Structure 1
Amino acid sequence: MPADDARERTELSDLVRTRMAELGLSYRRLEEICVDPEAVAGDQAVEPLWRRGTLENLAKGRRIKPPDFPMLRALAAGLQVTLRQVQEAAGAQFLGIDTVWSPDGRTRVLIEGFRDMDPEDQAKVLALMESRRRLRRD
């Protein structure tokens, strides 16, 4: 999927808007609590990794620079969701990578443009996942 198409996706933006509404957070408050939980606080206070304006731009679907891994951890902490949820949403929105889970939830693949595949090709991906899962089980 070309980079331009990936920018049209809104998975991370949607997650931010939804969680902010559910938690009753303002952009300012979300900024304050978006701290990387793995950051080490020495003599200085650990700073939030997101700024209010960037969060607002993201939530409103405006273009932002793709976040790095510490920023994803900080956003997951601020939104009170798993890192996996934030990673999957960011991968979809910024890279066009879809995370596809097997029906039993035990196997996942990261695949570019899965949602744009026709149903026959999607079924082939799922069948390949199932065959791989069975091979690992045996």
Structure 2
Amino acid sequence: MTDRTHFVDLVRSRREQLHLSYLSLAAAAVDPETGESMSTGWLHRLETGKPVNAPSFAVLRALAAGLNLPLARLQQAAGAQFFGMETGGRYSVEALQLAERLGNLTDKQRDAVIALLDAFLPPASK
């Protein structure tokens, strides 16, 4: 594993956001295609910085189910952490999470969030 932590940061933050223990995430993380389940040991090693193998596609699908996240987001984070594939450009995991949430808002709600951000930061240059 490299010093990149894109994947572990995403898994940890989403697990904490959902108030899931390692055991409850492992129970919920089952690949819908193969039935493969997660190992609590692998999750613990991942989050505590111990060496782990890169997740298989089945493990990514299981995590997507258990964390209620899009598979592509987990693939991108795993690619960045385990293989150095920076497909998201200069955007952090937090920025991608924010963009995803903004996409779920109504136009009025999105305008309110942008107005709030503008109060703290100057608008992005065009």
Query: Scaled by the length of structure 1, what TM-score is found?
Result: 0.60
CA positional deviation for 1:34: 1.1
Where structure 2 has 5 or more consecutive residues not aligned to the other structure, the ranges are 90-126
CA positional deviation for 1:47: 4.4
Q: Deviations over 1:59-110 (max 9, x none)?
A: 1222201111111111111111000110000000100001136xxxxxxxxx
Corresponding residue number in structure 2 for 1:22 = 17
Q: How many residues align?
A: 89
Amino acid in the other structure paired with 1:21: E
Q: Larger Rg: 1 or 2?
A: 1
- Do the aligned partners of 1:31 and 1:51 also contact (CA within 8 Å) in 2? yes
1:88 is aligned, of 64, 76, 86, to: 76
- Do the aligned partners of 1:7 and 1:63 also contact (CA within 8 Å) in 2? no
Corresponding residue number in structure 2 for 1:9 = 4
Distance in 2, Cα, partners of 1:60 & 1:32? 19
Q: Which runs of 4+ in 1 moved over 3 A?
A: none
- Do the aligned partners of 2:36 and 2:59 also contact (CA within 8 Å) in 1? no
Q: Deviations over 1:16-51 (max 9, x none)?
A: 110111000000011111111122xxxxxx341x21
> Over aligned residue pairs, what C-alpha RMSD do you find?
1.4
Distance in 2, Cα, partners of 1:47 & 1:70? 7
**Percent of counterpart pairs with the same letter?**
46
Query: Scaled by the length of structure 2, what TM-score is found?
Result: 0.66
Amino acid in the other structure paired with 1:16: V
- Do the aligned partners of 1:10 and 1:61 also contact (CA within 8 Å) in 2? no
Where structure 1 has 5 or more consecutive residues not aligned to the other structure, the ranges are 1-5, 40-45, 102-138
Is residue 2:64 matched to residue 1:76?
yes
Amino acid in the other structure paired with 2:50: R
